Structure 1
Amino acid sequence: MSIVSDAVKVLRRDGLIVYPTETVYGLGADALSDYAVQRVYEVKGRPMGKPISVAVSDEEMIGAIAEVSDEAWKFIRTFLPGPVTVVLPVKSCLPPVLSGGTGMIGIRMPDNQVTRDIIAELDAPITATSANTSGTPAPVSKEQVNVAYDLFVDGGDLSGTPSTVVDLEARRILRPGDDIERIAAYLRDLE
């Protein structure tokens, strides 16, 4: 068995995985499962109503869960996969708790092939929140993960710089992070 198929088995039974991105370790659950998403909130101690982003494997999956303008597609094709979370209008296929009632969803396409392979084989987005209890530092190694999980996907030590969060509708940066200078310059050029 490979780590990819092991992870998919866990996710299909509403389990939780810890997976590597290019920045920090994420806590993954099947984002289409209300029960699995609820477990993520519980193990993190995250307040209900606070949005959680999702990770996808490809552009097709982005289009399946969000409304994407031509301008947004240009941005996505420039920066993803990579350390960026794009915020877009959400479609009704995702559990409403993920968007926190905002009508928007944060989407990551991590620059980590194993993680994207897991999502592709699951054929559904997974939650993309750091594998830590709310209010503690995001983990960059297995030793720093402080939440319950069913399977750890080892990606070694990670950089620790969080993804840059960009609201593509408002054309603004909500959280600066990795690759911030290039993203800011791109958004300025749109004005």
Structure 2
Amino acid sequence: MNKNVTDEIKKAVEILQNGGLILYPTDTVWGIGCDATNAEAVKKVYDLKKRQDSKALICLVSNDAMLERYIEEVPDIAYDIMDLATKPTTIIYDNPKGVAKNLIANDNTLAIRVASDKFCQYLIGKFKKPIVSTSANIAGNKTPPNFEEIDKAILTGVDYVVNLKPENKNSVPSSIIKLGIDGLVKVIRE
């Protein structure tokens, strides 16, 4: 890993550890991130996006082992979906644990994606906790497809902007699939 990437990860982790917000390239679009276990940091994200906190946010984890630490029981089908997915796929799980309460939806679910790009994997791995990942836009506005279209209010509202180009030029939000304990699979966003 080059020095620039290492430096960016170090700076971003420092901000996250102090309850701050980062703007960072994810495996999909540019995301606003914070410590998913810190309720005050999560509230800052809702405030910045001008969004009601009943609308849950997505979390990124670095691997399956981290996923299993924050979900009561990961259904076997989740692994099949992740293995077969052709693009980044977020899965909504029942019974999350160990994350900020204001991150959990009213129906006791949490949307989590195992990051597929190296930068996010390294960042989350160094931070050792899930990171919130929500599109870098004000609620109700469209998701910016690239860095240049991110609203100034977002750019100035975060504590740190990661100075790296995204690995992939996907720039579309992930698919979202809801898995019920009852085995029900429902596609929320393709």
Report if aligned partners of 1:20, 1:112 keep a CA contact under 8 Å in 2.
no
1:111-134 residue CA offsets vs partner (Å, 9 max, x unmatched) = 221111111100000111101111
Q: Does 1:113 align with 2:127?
A: no
In structure 2, the residue matched to 1:181 is none
After TM superposition, the structure 1 = structure 2 runs for residues 171-182 of structure 1, keeping only pairs within 5 Å, are: 171-176=185-190
In structure 1, the residue matched to 2:69 is 64
Residue of 176, 179, 187 corresponding to 1:165 = 176
CA–CA separation in structure 2 for the residues paired with 1:18 and 1:158: 17
Which residue type is aligned with residue 21 of structure 1? T
User: What displacement does 1:37 show?
Assistant: 0.4
Which residue type is aligned with residue 78 of structure 1? L
User: What displacement does 1:151 show?
Assistant: 1.6
CA–CA separation in structure 2 for the residues paired with 1:160 and 1:71: 27
Residue of 155, 173, 191 corresponding to 2:165 = 155
User: What displacement does 1:161 show?
Assistant: 1.8
In structure 1, the residue matched to 2:3 is none
TM-score, normalised to structure 1, is 0.84
Report if aligned partners of 1:31, 1:126 keep a CA contact under 8 Å in 2.
yes
CA–CA separation in structure 2 for the residues paired with 1:22 and 1:138: 14
In structure 2, the residue matched to 1:79 is 85
Report if aligned partners of 1:140, 1:158 keep a CA contact under 8 Å in 2.
no
TM-score, normalised to structure 2, is 0.85
Residues matched between the structures, number: 175
User: What displacement does 1:20 show?
Assistant: 1.2
User: What displacement does 1:173 show?
Assistant: 0.4
After TM superposition, the structure 1 = structure 2 runs for residues 75-154 of structure 1, keeping only pairs within 5 Å, are: 75-79=81-85, 82-146=87-151, 147=154, 148-153=157-162, 154=164
User: What displacement does 1:160 show?
Assistant: 2.7
Gap regions ≥5 residues in structure 1: 177-191
In structure 2, the residue matched to 1:9 is 14
CA–CA separation in structure 1 for the residues paired with 2:23 and 2:113: 15
Report if aligned partners of 1:108, 1:128 keep a CA contact under 8 Å in 2.
no
1:25-71 residue CA offsets vs partner (Å, 9 max, x unmatched) = 11100000011001000000011211111011111111011120222
User: What displacement does 1:174 show?
Assistant: 0.5
Q: RMSD over aligned Cα, in angstroms?
A: 1.8
CA–CA separation in structure 1 for the residues paired with 2:95 and 2:22: 24
Q: Does 1:27 align with 2:32?
A: yes
User: What displacement does 1:136 show?
Assistant: 1.1
Gap regions ≥5 residues in structure 2: 1-5
CA–CA separation in structure 1 for the residues paired with 2:52 and 2:171: 23
1:57-108 residue CA offsets vs partner (Å, 9 max, x unmatched) = 111111011120222223233339x511111113331122212221111111
> Secondary structure at 1:2's aligned position in 2?
helix
CA–CA separation in structure 1 for the residues paired with 2:119 and 2:134: 17
